[in-house]
Amino acid sequence: MTNYGARCTVRTVGTLPKNADDTEPALCAAFPTDLTVLLHAAAGRMTDDLDLAAVEMGLNDVRDWLVLAALDDGRQRTQLELSRVVCVDKTTLISVLDRLEQHQLIVRTVDPSDRRVRIPQITAAGRKVYAKFAIARDAAEARALAGVGPDDRALLLQLLARIADRQDVALAAT
C-alpha cells in the first residue's frame, strides 16, 4: 500500500500491507520539487476534508459550497460565467445547480435580456448553509496548515493567488 497523503492511498492489487514499514515513500517525498504533484496532493487533501464536511451538512461535495460561495458575493452571473468562476465544467455545474435548487439553496431566474439564459441566485437558506460550511472550511484549512507560521501562510496564499491569477490571464487570452 502506498500513502500519497490524505487523498491518495494506492494498494497493489491483491496485497495487504504487512506492517507500517511495508509502504513506499509518499509521492510528495518522491517528487519534492514538482509543483504539479505538490499542488495536486495539497488540493486532494483539502478536497477530501471539505467533501466530508459537505456530506455531514447534507451537501453532495465541496463543489456545492463553491457555488454557494460564488453566489454569496452578490454579483449576478449567468450559469456560464459561474462555471468559469468556480472552475467547474458547464455540464457538472448544471447538476450542482439542479441539486442546490432542489434543496432550496438557490433559485434560477430568467435573464431579462435573453430568455435562454438563467441567472442563479443564493437563497436565505443557501446563505445559512454557506456560513455553516465556512466554519468547516476554516477548520480544514487550520488542520492543513498546522505548524505553518502566519508569515509563511500569508506568503503561501499570496503565491497561490498569483498562480491562480496567471491561469485566468492565460484563459482570457484563448
User: Are 28 and 60 members of one domain?
Assistant: no
The residue with cell 453566489 is 71
User: Are 9 and 88 members of one domain?
Assistant: no
User: Are 123 and 150 members of one domain?
Assistant: yes
Q: Give the per-residue pLDDT at 32.
A: 81
Q: Give the per-residue pLDDT at 151.
A: 96
Over 90: is that where the pLDDT of 3 sits? no
Task: Decide which of 124 and 6 is more confident.
Answer: 124
User: Are 117 and 142 members of one domain?
Assistant: yes
Mean pLDDT of the 138-148 span: 91
pLDDT, one tens digit per residue, over 33-43 is 888 888 888 89
User: Are 50 and 106 members of one domain?
Assistant: yes
Residue % of the chain over a pLDDT of 70? 80
Q: Give the per-residue pLDDT at 164.
A: 83
Contact criterion met (CB below 8 Å) for 31 and 67: no
Please, which residues have CB within 8 angstroms of residue 34's CB and are 6 or more apart in sequence?
none
Q: Give the per-residue pLDDT at 166.
A: 72
Q: Is residue 174 part of a domain?
A: no
Angle formed by the axes of helices 35-56 and 124-144, to 10°? Answer: 130
Band (135; pLDDT cuts 50, 70, 90): very high
Query: Which residues lie across from 93 on neighbouring strands?
Result: none
Q: What is the mean pLDDT of the chain?
A: 82
CATH number, domain at 93? 1.10.10.10
Contact criterion met (CB below 8 Å) for 63 and 92: yes
Band (122; pLDDT cuts 50, 70, 90): very high
Q: Which amino acid is at 73?
A: D
**Burial of residue 56 (number of CB atoms within 10 Å: 0-12, 13-18, 19+):** exposed
Task: Decide which of 130 and 8 is more confident.
Answer: 130
Task: Decide which of 23 and 150 is more confident.
Answer: 150
- Domain extent, residue 71, equals 42-168
User: Are 132 and 84 members of one domain?
Assistant: yes
User: Are 53 and 95 members of one domain?
Assistant: yes
User: Are 86 and 131 members of one domain?
Assistant: yes
Kindly report the three-state secondary structure assignment for every residue of 56-119. HCCCCCHHHHHHHHHHCCCCCCCHHHHHHHCCCCHHHHHHHHHHHHHCCCEEEEEECCEEEEEE
d(CA 147, CA 162): 23
Mean pLDDT of the 48-52 span: 92
User: Are 1 and 84 members of one domain?
Assistant: no
Residue % of the chain over a pLDDT of 90? 60
User: Are 98 and 164 members of one domain?
Assistant: yes
Over 90: is that where the pLDDT of 105 sits? yes
Mean pLDDT of the 60-79 span: 94
Task: Decide which of 100 and 9 is more confident.
Answer: 100
* Number of C-beta neighbours around residue 164 at 10 A: 10
Q: Retrieve residue 96's grid coordinates.
A: 450542482
User: Are 67 and 152 members of one domain?
Assistant: yes
Number of structural domains the chain divides into: 2
User: Are 22 and 60 members of one domain?
Assistant: no
